[in-house]
């Protein structure tokens, strides 16, 4: 690792710690040349499949967009942050394990609906009503009746 202060290539790791959530490793380093200390972070580099929209456009997967849509559906519902984080992790893990380079946005929507159905029925209906773009009230009623069963 090159020193950010003097660009010397020889630095020594003084201390290594795994973050509480296990998402990254923090390393304290010492430069052999200028004697300064600095911190580096090591994270796993994963690449999600490209999302293919209904109109054929291809966009990068956005974690923030997934979180926002889940939070919107779960707004003012009695679901903990830990439960939401767990659902998001399961969705992202599924996307990574599909082993494909592209995934239709409809597949992501179905994964979100599956997780919301487990978390909160009202949030599931909220998301489905927007996601499925119902043409008439009977389609919506069918969904609500299915959830009640």
pLDDT tens digits along 125-149: 989 888 777 777 888 788 888 888 7
pLDDT digits (tens, 9 = 90+) for 47-92: 899 999 999 999 999 999 999 999 999 999 999 999 999 999 999 9
The predicted structure's pLDDT at residue 104: 96
The pLDDT-based confidence of 22 (bands split at 50, 70, 90) is confident
Instruction: List, in sequence order, every residue forming a beta bridge with 30; answer none if it has no partner.
Output: 12, 37
What's the pTM?
Answer: 0.66
Please report the pLDDT score of residue 70 as a whole number: 94
Handedness of CA 106, 110, 115, 118 (dihedral sign): positive
């Amino acid at each position: 690792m090159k020193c950010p202060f003097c660009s010397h290539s020889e630095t020594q790791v003084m201390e290594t710690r795994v973050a509480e959530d296990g998402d990254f490793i923090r390393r304290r380093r010492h430069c052999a040349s200028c004697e300064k200390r600095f911190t580096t972070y090591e994270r796993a580099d994963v690449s999600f499949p490209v999302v293919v929209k209904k109109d054929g456009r291809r966009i990068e997967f956005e974690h923030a967009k997934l979180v926002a849509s889940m939070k919107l559906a779960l707004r003012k519902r009695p679901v903990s942050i830990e439960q939401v984080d767990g659902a998001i992790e399961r969705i992202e893990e599924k996307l990574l394990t599909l082993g494909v380079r592209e995934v239709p946005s409809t597949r992501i929507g179905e994964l979100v609906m599956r997780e919301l159905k487990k978390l909160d029925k009202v949030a599931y209906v909220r998301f489905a009503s927007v996601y499925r773009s119902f043409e008439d009230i009977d389609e919506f009623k069918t969904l609500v009746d299915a959830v009640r069963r």
